[in-house]
Amino acid sequence: MTIFNAYKDADSGELACLPDRFSWPAFLLPPVWALAHRLWVELALILAAIIALAIVAALLDLPFLALYLTGAVWLGFEAHQLHGRALLRRGWHPAGTLNARDRIDAETETGRRAARPA
């Protein structure tokens, strides 16, 4: 079971359930991951961080790959939280936290919860 954070778009009613776990795509290809999720601010920060790491590595004679992997590991752990914050900036609202086997189960349960009378 995985913990999911659910978000709901106030305009369309669309649901997004983001797992609270390591993101391999964000770790392996950070800029591509940000592009795929339309995270423009995060993409700019990722590219700025890569450039800054390259400059620091060159100036201090440090291994760029070690610095890059450190940042990529951090991003792998924080990717879904960054995506959730981006959804909040776009006007989505938190719709709860739940345990589910996969994203489909999480979205189904979130929809059921939203349909129940209060």
pLDDT of 23-42, one tens digit each?
A: 999 999 999 999 999 999 99
* Cα torsion angle, 42, 46, 48, 53, sign: positive
Q: Quote the CA–CA distance of 48 and 72 in Å, as a whole number.
A: 14
pLDDT at 33: 97
Indicate the pLDDT class of residue 117, thresholds 50, 70 and 90.
low
Q: Which residues pair with 9 in a beta bridge?
A: 92
**pTM summary value:** 0.86
Percent of the chain residues past pLDDT 70, beyond the cut? 97
Give the chain's mean pLDDT: 93
Domain of residue 69: give its range: 2-115
Could you tell me if 90 and 41 are in contact, meaning their C-beta atoms sit under 8 angstroms apart?
A: no
Q: Which residues pair with 19 in a beta bridge?
A: 4
Alpha carbon separation from 74 to 4, 26, 28, 62, 70 (Å, rounded):
19, 10, 12, 19, 6
Count the domains in the chain: 1
pLDDT at 99: 93
